[in-house]
């Protein structure tokens, strides 16, 4: 991990991680109810916010255009390693979706611009036995999802929110967005998308959080 692994920043980071792991052990915020995504807009146990809270490990890497590099690789026909200007030349899409964070907030109607995950699949062509996708970020964070979740409409590599570039604190210049899952699956400061045969649980998934993260069935911990 770059930067603040030691010293005050590292300590407060460790505390934050410990607290979230404790939540997972206690099953905090679980309501034990399910919601129907076709009927209810707000998943169980969530509350609506109007702002956009910032959550991360406390290190917000400054990914300048020079430092930017996005590798898309693994078991695919065409590997890609993109500079920011090359990323910006990919076919862009716009979508509006809700986001749901495991710490209980949800925010409706976020307007996103970026590259649809389905467009990435068309470009790199994963081998037929690929079943998982692993995201790696510039702060060392990782998250895993299934290939079918990656392929779902709404999953995007986003660079604009509400008409403006995504700020550094929210993971700019490019972050993942997987709106159908809790937001911890949406890696900020995206560095690599790795297509794998077999699953590799990520940062929170190996610290007591659910591997699948569906807000509608409250897959918070597991
Ligand atoms: N690179 C990176 N991505 C990350 C995280 C992180 O610590 N590092 N935190 C995750 C968590 S736990 C959440 S809730 C969301 C928060 O995104 P936001 O700060 O834009 O609201 O980012 C996710 N993506
Ligand atoms: Mo989170």
Q: How far is the CA of 39 from the centre of ligand 1 (A)?
A: 28
Neighbouring residues of 204: CB distance < 8 A, sequence distance ≥ 6: 20, 143, 184
* Residue-level pLDDT at 74: 98
* Residue-level pLDDT at 25: 81
Q: How far is the CA of 189 from the centre of ligand 2 (A)?
A: 15
Q: Which of 74, 59, 16, 5 is nearest to 207 (CA)?
A: 16
Q: Which numbered atom of ligand 1 lies nearest the CA of 137?
A: 1
Q: Which ligand is nearest to the CA of 53?
A: 1
Backbone phi and psi for residue 185, each to the nearest 5 degrees, phi listed first:
-75, -15
Q: How far is the CA of 57 from the centre of ligand 1 (A)?
A: 8
Q: Is the pTM of this model over 0.85?
A: yes
Nearest CA to ligand 1 atom 9: 56
Q: Which of 175, 97, 101, 96 is nearest to 136 (CA)?
A: 175
* Residue-level pLDDT at 34: 73
Q: Which ligand is nearest to the CA of 176?
A: 1
101-155 pLDDT, tens digit per residue, is: 999 999 999 999 999 999 999 999 999 999 999 999 999 999 999 999 999 999 9
Nearest CA to ligand 1 atom 16: 55
* Residue-level pLDDT at 86: 98
Q: How far is the CA of 16 from the centre of ligand 2 (A)?
A: 11
* Residue-level pLDDT at 19: 85
* Residue-level pLDDT at 1: 43
* Residue-level pLDDT at 13: 83
Structural domains of the chain sorted by starting position, each given as residue range(s) with its CATH number in brackets: 8-34+43-52+63-217 (3.90.420.10)
Q: Which residues of the chain have pLDDT under 70?
A: 1-7
Nearest CA to ligand 1 atom 12: 184
């Amino acid at each position: 991990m770059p930067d603040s692994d030691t010293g005050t920043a590292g300590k407060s980071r460790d505390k934050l991680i410990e607290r979230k792991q404790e939540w997972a052990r206690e099953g905090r915020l679980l309501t034990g109810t399910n919601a129907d995504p076709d009927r209810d807009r707000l998943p169980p146990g969530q509350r609506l916010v109007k702002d956009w809270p910032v959550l991360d490990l406390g290190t917000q890497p400054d990914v300048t255009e020079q430092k930017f590099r996005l590798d898309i690789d693994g078991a695919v026909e065409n590997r890609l390693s993109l500079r920011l200007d090359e990323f910006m030349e990919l076919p862009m899409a716009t979508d509006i979706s809700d986001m749901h964070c495991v710490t209980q907030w949800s925010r409706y109607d976020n307007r996103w611009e970026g590259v649809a995950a389905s467009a990435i699949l068309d470009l790199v062509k994963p081998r037929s036995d690929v079943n998982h996708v692993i995201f790696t970020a510039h702060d060392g964070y990782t998250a895993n999802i299934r290939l079918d979740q990656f392929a779902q409409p709404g999953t995007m590599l986003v660079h604009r929110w509400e008409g403006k570039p995504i700020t550094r604190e929210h993971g700019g210049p490019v972050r993942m967005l997987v709106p159908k899952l809790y937001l911890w699956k949406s890696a900020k400061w995206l560095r690599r998308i790795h297509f794998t045969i077999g699953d590799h649980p990520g940062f929170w998934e190996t610290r007591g959080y659910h591997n699948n993260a569906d807000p509608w069935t409250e897959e918070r911990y597991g």
